[in-house]
Amino acid sequence: MPSLTLTVRLLTPHSDLWDWQTRALCRTTRSDLFFGPDSESRATRIRRERQAQELCQGCPVRHECQRHALEVGEPYGVWGGLTESDRRFGHDRARQHLPANSKPNKRLRISPRHPRPGRQ
């Protein structure tokens, strides 16, 4: 009788894609500074986004964060100092924030069908 062998390929982490996040200043900051509630007024949103952008200005991984948000099409929050509006309506202007030697990361793809946390 032939032997049946089950071959399993273990998933391996791609830490090189996410390591930059461990150095981000926002790791020790309230997430509601970067992600506001749906019911937030325009004035409150603008004030919150400015505070988040100020923190992002001094972040050592700001460019990696911006690149990530642009590449995956992140629709919510402030990423690397870029607001939702910056990314949605000023895509070309948003890319200008990236360093000239910035190369897109072709390995990372997020399914458009994947539900975003807190948004259904």
Please state the residue numbers annotated as binding site for [4Fe-4S] cluster. 26, 56, 59, 65
d(CA 58, CA 24): 10
> Could you tell me which residues are annotated as the binding site?
26, 56, 59, 65
Which among 58, 63, 89 is positioned nearest to 75, based on CA atoms? 89
Query: How many helices (H) does the chain have, and how many strands (E)?
Result: 5, 0
